[in-house]
Amino acid sequence: MQKSQVRRASALLVGLTLVVAACGSDSSSGGATTAAPETTAAATETTAAAVETTAGGTDTTVAAGGDELKGMKGTTPLVKLSDDFKTALQGTPSGEGLTDYNYAGETYDAIVTIALAAEIAKTDGSAMADQIVGVTKDGEKCTDFQSCLDIIKAGGDPDYDGQSGPITMNGNGEPLEASYGILTFGAGNQLDDSLTTYVTASAPESAVKELTTTDVKRDGDGVLKLGGLLPQTGSLAFLGAPEFAGAELAVAEINAAGGVLGNPVEWSPGDSGDTSTDIASQTSDRLLGEGVDAIIGAASSSVTLTVIDKITAAGVVMYSPANTSLKLVDYPDHSLYFRDAPPDDLQGNVIAQLVVDDGNQSAYILALDDAYGTSLADVIEAGLKAAGVDVLGKKIYDPKATSFDAEVDEIAAADPDAIILITFDEGSRILKTMVEKGVGPSAKAVYGCDGNIGNALGDNFNAGK
């Protein structure tokens, strides 16, 4: 079942649409996504308040639990998260005490999409991959596994719009459209949900790709087995709990609906670590040895690039809830790699537009040296320059460094209006140094991204981590 490709007009830097001025108690507090975002055809409306700055002297003392991050903004794939979904996530083994929900919705949707594709293909073998793109577009709308399954059993064609929005995959297995939340830190270095706003973005027509089919044959055995390659340790460990919770909830709900192909779905969780270890390779080997049909992960694009060849060569689907690097757009993956996090060219232009809309005339970009950091930095730089913002510097740093004084000194010397931080969990230490040197969020407009924005960043900052 192959479907025609959907054409989407470009919204980047020209017509980004801001929706929902404030989310109140329904916001995610840091990055999960749920029902399809409300959209409008009107021209861009800037509703997010500019980052507050101070004209007086700078307090360089970092006090735990203070307001040093107040006013810092960041973007992450995000639509409104319902209280019901948050409660359900918190009821999973990994979800107890969740305050950040980054990519929980995307993880949940990855598993539901795979399960529906297996039902359509009538196999858990590699042929189910050929149905994944079609599940997300051009059919009868449905928003949960059971309702989509009912459509399939009636001989229909489901179009799954899940917890992370409409998904609407390109032919290469990545979203053509996305909703981003603009999150803002408030008191206590925690996100102020009342300030959250939303932006929708779509890929240009030039990004649309034809649907291909996998060239690796692997037979199924009738039992859909899923493995997790998600960060329990490493620089993205803060994403682990919400992602595992999303997976556990999806598997539980699918099995409550009768499973897939008449059998319960099996789930084997595993740690991805980060690129400083060999954990991802070891976990991938274990999961392949267990005979999994699909691997959910990795969260880090760079980690994915270390194991994607062995996974897809085995005829196993690899579906990431959080990869955004442009290096994966045309990767030779046997048409077995998918992601429901949008690629960096969408988020990069959203960040650039935010910097422009806030009235900044100059900017400095500080990005970690990996596939995610460098590609996102390039897109932001191009977007800023196209809008007439003077990019005073783009520094690519080693995330394993023990000190970031030299990098922050360069930012201070450049004296930009805005500072864009593309980091993982080391971002809290960079921000501490920025505050100490007088270029923190109380003195400059500071912007983050999905790799760092969340209450975990404030928690680490407060703890001096």
* pLDDT tens readout for residues 440-452: 999 999 999 999 9
Q: Which residue has the tokens 């001025």?
A: 21
Q: Is 232:271 a contact under the CB 8 Å cutoff?
A: yes
pLDDT tier, 383 (very low <50, low <70, confident <90, very high otherwise): very high
Task: Give me 217's structure tokens.
Answer: 């044959």
According to DSSP, the residues that pair with 448 across neighbouring strands are 74
- Contact partners, residue 332, CB within 8 Å, separation at least 6: none
Question: To 10 degrees, what angle do helices 240-256 and 104-121 make?
Answer: 40
SS3 state of residue 463: helix
Q: What are phi and psi of 180, to 5 degrees?
A: -115, 140
Q: Which residues pair with 200 in a beta bridge?
A: 17, 179
Between 9-18, 80-89, 414-423, the lowest mean confidence (pLDDT) is in 9-18
**How many Å apart are CA 104 and CA 246, to the nearest integer?**
5
Burial class (CB in 10 A: 0-12, 13-18, 19+), 390: middle
CA-nearest of 172, 194, 169 to 183 is 194
Residue 140 has a pLDDT of 98
Q: What is the DSSP letter of 248?
A: H
What is the rounded CA–CA span in Å between residue 11 and residue 44? 9
Higher-pLDDT residue of 184, 14:
184
Model confidence band, residue 133 (pLDDT cutoffs 50, 70, 90): very high
Cα angle 18, 24, 30; round to 5 = 75
Whether 26 shows a pLDDT value over 80: the answer reads no
Is the per-residue pLDDT at 105 higher than 90? yes
> What is the SS3 assignment for 275?
coil
Q: What average pLDDT is seen over the chain?
A: 88
Question: What average pLDDT does this structure show over 168-185?
Answer: 95
Signed CA dihedral, 435, 440, 442, 444: sign only: positive
For 87, other C-beta atoms within 10 Å of its C-beta total 10
Residue 40 corresponds to which tokens in the numbers above?
A: 């409008």
Q: Are 431 and 241 in contact (CB under 8 A)?
A: no
Answer yes or no: is pLDDT of 80 > 90: no
- Written as six digits, the tokens of 388 are 């007439």
The SS3 assignment for 47 reads: coil
138, 4 Cβ separation under 8 angstroms: yes
Structure tokens belonging to residue 432 = 């501490």
Return the sign of the alpha-carbon dihedral for residues 440, 442, 447, 452: positive
Is pLDDT at 205 greater than 50 in this prediction? yes
Using a 10 angstrom Cβ sphere, with 0-12 exposed, 13-18 middle and 19 or more buried, the burial of residue 378 is middle
Q: What type of residue is 174?
A: E
Tell how strand 177-184 and strand 73-77 pair up. Answer: antiparallel
Burial class (CB in 10 A: 0-12, 13-18, 19+), 192: middle
**Quick one: pLDDT at residue 65?**
62
Q: Is the pLDDT assigned to residue 365 strictly greater than 50?
A: yes
What digits encode the pLDDT tens for the residues 305-352?
999 999 999 999 999 999 999 999 999 999 999 999 999 999 999 999
pLDDT at position 81 is 79
Residue 119 has pLDDT above 50, yes or no: yes
pLDDT at res. 3? 35
Mean pLDDT of 250-260: 98
Mapped onto helix, strand or coil, the DSSP state of residue 317 is: strand
HSE-up of residue 321 (Cα within 13 Å, Cβ side): 37
Q: Where are the alpha helices (DSSP H) in 154-239?
A: none
Residue 262 φ/ψ region, left for φ over 0, alpha for ψ in the -120 to 50 degree band, beta for the rest: left
The whole-number average pLDDT for the span 148-167 is: 96
pLDDT of residue 66: 85
User: Could you give the dihedral angle defined by the CA atoms of residues 297, 231, 350 and 3, in that order, rounded to the nearest 10 degrees?
Assistant: 10
Q: Is the pLDDT of residue 15 over 50?
A: no
What's the pLDDT score for residue 9?
31
Task: Read off the pLDDT band of 274 (50, 70, 90).
Answer: very high
> Which range, of 24-33, 158-167, 453-462, averages the lowest pLDDT?
24-33
DSSP secondary structure, 370-418, as one string? SHHHHHHHHHHHHHHHHTT-EEEEEEEE-TT-S--HHHHHHHHHH--SE
- Over residues 169-193, mean pLDDT: 95
Proportion of the chain above pLDDT 70, given as a percent:
86
Residues 6+ apart with CB under 8 A from 22: 194, 195, 196, 197
pLDDT given for residue 248 in this prediction: 98
pLDDT band at 100 (very low <50, low <70, confident <90, very high): confident
**Distance from C-alpha of 458 to C-alpha of 245, rounded to nearest angstrom:** 22
- Joined tokens for residue 221: 């055995």
